[in-house]
Amino acid sequence: MDRMPQTVAVAGAGTMGTGIAQLACLAGARTLLHDPDPEALARALEAVAAALDRGALRGRWSEDEAAAAAERLQPAETLEALAPAGLVIEAAPESLELKRQLLGRLSQVVAGDCVLATNTSSLLVTAVAAGATAPERVVGMHFFNPAPRMRLLEVVAGVHTGERALAVARATGAAMGKRVIDGADGPGFLVNRVNRPFSLEAQRLLTERIADHAEIDRICRLGGGFPMGPFELMDLVGVDVGFDVARSFHAQSFGEPRWRPSPLVARMVAAGLTGRKSGRGFYDYRDGAHRPDDPAAPQEPPGAGALDGALVVVAGDTVLAHELLDLGAAVGFDARTPAEADGELPFLILDCGATDDDPPLQGGPQALLLHQGSLAALDAGGAAIGFHALPPLSPGTLVELTRGPAGAGSDAAADAAERFFAALGCPVAWVADAPGLVLGRIVCQLVNEAAFAVGEGVGSAADVDEGVVHGLNHPRGILAWADEIGLDHVLGVLDALAEEHGAERYRAAPLLRRLVLSDRLGRPTGEGFFPADGDGDDLGGPA
């Protein structure tokens, strides 16, 4: 069994290289750090020493461990000084020609059994490996930024990568304390590919004026539990960086519609609005904080209050319908199904997918769950309003509402829905009409991209979920969340978007559709991307 080599070298002393060097020396390897810029190398050595001291003060490791790690870290002023390494990790800037040249030079310096790893996040490992004299020893080791803190390492095999190179990369990641997953060589590998819709779908929502950028971010934070909204994240990473990645995806895929860059972002980059680093992006950072803090979630739902005992009818056999029945009853509403209502006049009707077997929904203001179409498609010109939320629903979870085209929808329905969700402790946001509204569109597209990736063998369902949680700080695994929502709900949103937009970018992944057709719907049937009991086959995985 291969282990982490006793000597590990890092070529490139920027932010990523510095973080990787810290990980290597802490893991017990003699660590050689090289950069052609002597000042950059000196700064990196100082940064690692400072980080080791801070970690000891915070109890992440002992002072003795910090001192021992610092002794293991050594500067290498030339590439030739990296000759003793059993593994060299290049962390050069994202230039294919530069990385190829670097691997070519390293091939002449290190021993024939030394593994060469590239930390590229946007280039094909196969393309980078073409610069080495023996491409079978080149492997992708994609660390996530900041490398010392993010718990994930993505190991990527190029076309020629050998098993020993893969084994050394995995063992090194494990020694560094990382959760190691495998990803296939392709645009974005596994994790960054799956996350593409988080920014791209948000950009489409903004372009279509479904909501403004601040509202989209707030919905993602309070409705989905994401630590940052997509526009905040784009500003943090750099709008120009994200645009370059989008163009790379689109080019490498020969024009895949799901990955088409946004003209909106192209204009922003041309205008120099690149995010925090320029002082302005989607937000303005010149005067400090770009937004107010979100309110804390209530410890207990407010309760129905004056509406205690009011009849709320919830139709449908969806996951969300059952949650609304339970939550409504828990705070004091008389929550019933249409059959149980027996014709009584309700305070509010929540239609979450009424079936032909349900009695007619009438006699009270109505809100339609927009999981199978927009409000315009489901209730054109009617008096209902639309709503959407994703399970699991709990106090503090934001619910989206819409009136449909030209403000259609009765004031009575709007008022009743707002009062009902307030009683559950759920804030609301009013947005323009669309299938899935804001969060539903973004999350269903994340699920769809993950389903494409798993179906194509880019990674397994388990690796997808481990990747987005440990590499991107998502609040939960995206495919486990899909099982919780119900895969029929996800497919319904996607099919409705495809029909209304007539766009290829919303076509459902074949794997997702097959799961629904085979009645593997997730929580509703006990099996979806994952078996309910945690045992059984894990879908997908690199070939």
DSSP string, 108-153: HHS-TT-EEEE--SSS-HHHHHTTSS-GGGEEEEEE-SSTTT--EE
Residue 388, both tokens: 């959407």
**Single-letter amino acid, residue 372:** Q
Largest CA distance in the chain: 84
Comparing 429 with 122, which gets the higher pLDDT?
Answer: 429
CB 147 within 8 A of CB 176: no
Question: What's the one-letter identity of residue 41?
Answer: L
Among 107, 119, 192, 195, which one carries the catalytic annotation? 192
Cα dihedral 226, 227, 228, 229, rounded to 10, equals 20
Q: For 303, what's the count of Cα atoms within 13 Å in the CB-facing half-sphere?
A: 6
Catalytic residue among 119, 121, 195, 448: 121
Per DSSP bridges, beta strands 152-157 and 138-143 are: antiparallel
Block residue for tokens 């030739």: 80
Query: What three-state secondary structure class fits 384?
Result: coil
Q: Is 192 an active-site residue?
A: yes
pLDDT tens track for 128-147: 999 999 999 999 999 998 99
Question: Is 62 among the catalytic positions?
Answer: no
Taking 3-state DSSP, the helix, strand and coil percentages for the chain, each rounded to the nearest 5, stand at 45, 15, 40
pLDDT at 383: 87
Average pLDDT, the chain: 93
Segment 488-512 mean pLDDT? 97
Q: Where are the alpha helices (DSSP H) in 239-391?
A: 239-252, 263-270, 319-330, 338-341, 375-378
- DSSP of 19-58, one letter per residue? HHHHHHHHTT-EEEEE-SSHHHHHHHHHHHHHHHHHHHHT
* pLDDT attached to residue 536: 47
Query: CA–CA separation, 474 vs 167, rounded Å?
Result: 28
Q: Where are the CATH 1.10.1040.50 domain residues in the chain?
A: 205-286+438-543
Taking domain 205-286+438-543, whether its CATH number is 1.10.20.60 is answered by: no
Q: Which token pair is 418?
A: 């707002």
Please give the angle made by the CA atoms of 444, 446 and 449, to the nearest 5 degrees.
110
pLDDT tens digits, residue range 371-409? 999 999 998 767 899 999 999 999 999 999 999 766 666
200/262 Cα distance (integer angstroms)? 7
For position 532, what pLDDT does the model report?
74
β-bridge mates for residue 155, sequence order: 141, 182
Q: Please say whether the beta carbons of 63 and 71 come within 8 A.
A: no
- Where are the extended beta strands (E) located within 50-119? 73-76, 87-90, 115-118
Q: Does pLDDT of 365 surpass 50?
A: yes
> Regarding beta strands 138-143 and 115-118, do their DSSP bridges make them parallel or antiparallel, or are they unpaired?
parallel
> What pLDDT is recorded for position 305?
85
Over residues 266-286, the mean pLDDT reads 95
Q: Which of 90, 122, 142, 262 is catalytic?
A: 142
Is the confidence at residue 93, as pLDDT, over 80?
A: yes
Q: What is the mean pLDDT of residues 96-118?
A: 96
Is residue 154 part of the annotated active site? The answer reads yes
Q: What is the pLDDT of residues 144-165, one digit of tens each?
A: 989 999 999 999 999 999 999 9
120: left (phi over 0), alpha (psi -120 to 50) or beta: beta
pLDDT of 364 > 90? The answer is: no
CB of 79 within 8 A of CB of 108?
A: no
Contact in structure between 432 and 408 (CB atoms under 8 Å): no
121 is catalytic: yes
- Which of 34, 122, 154, 474 is catalytic? The answer is 154
DSSP state of 75: E
Domain covering 7-185, topology? Rossmann fold (3.40.50)
What pLDDT score does 534 carry?
A: 59
Work out the angle at residue 94's Cα, subtended by the Cα atoms of residues 93 and 96, and round it to the nearest 5 degrees. Answer: 115
State how far the alpha carbon of 304 is from the alpha carbons of 336, 397, 398, in Å.
15, 17, 18
Which helix (H) or strand (E) is 10 found in, with range?
strand 7-11
Q: How far apart are the first and last CA of the chain?
A: 22
pLDDT of residue 540: 61
Category of 447 on φ-ψ map: left (φ > 0), alpha (ψ -120 to 50) or beta: alpha
In this prediction, residue 357 carries a pLDDT of 73
89 DSSP β-pair partners: 10, 117
Residue 302: both structure tokens together: 């407010």
* Per-residue pLDDT tens over the stretch 297-340: 777 778 878 889 999 999 999 999 999 999 999 999 999 999 89
pLDDT tops 60 at residue 511: yes
Give the whole-number percent of the chain exceeding pLDDT 90: 85
**Res 179 pLDDT > 90:** yes
User: 305-426 adopts what CATH topology?
Assistant: Rossmann fold (3.40.50)
DSSP 167-221: HHHHHHHHHTT-EEEEEESSTTTTHHHHTHHHHHHHHHHHHTTSS-HHHHHHHHH
Which value, to the nearest 10 degrees, does the dihedral of the CA atoms of residues 273, 275, 278, 283 take?
80
Tell me the C-alpha distance between 370 and 409, whole Å: 14
- No. of helices (H) and no. of strands (E), the chain: 21, 15
CATH 3.40.50.720 occupies which residues in the chain? 7-185, 305-426
Q: Which two tokens stand for residue 313?
A: 């009818």
How many beta carbons lie within 10 A of that of residue 96, not counting itself?
Answer: 15
Q: What pLDDT shows up at residue 292? A: 84
- Neighbouring CB atoms inside 10 A of 54's CB total 11
What pLDDT score does 355 carry? 76
How far is Cα 349 from Cα 500, in angstroms, rounded to an integer? 26
| The pairing of beta strand 385-388 with beta strand 399-402 | antiparallel
Q: What is the pLDDT of residues 32-73, one digit of tens each?
A: 999 999 999 999 999 999 999 999 999 999 999 999 999 999
Q: What pLDDT, on a 0 to 100 scale, did the predictor assign at position 499?
A: 96
What pLDDT score does 400 carry? 98
Is residue 366 predicted with pLDDT exceeding 50?
yes
CA dihedral 477→433→267→504, nearest 10 degrees, is 70
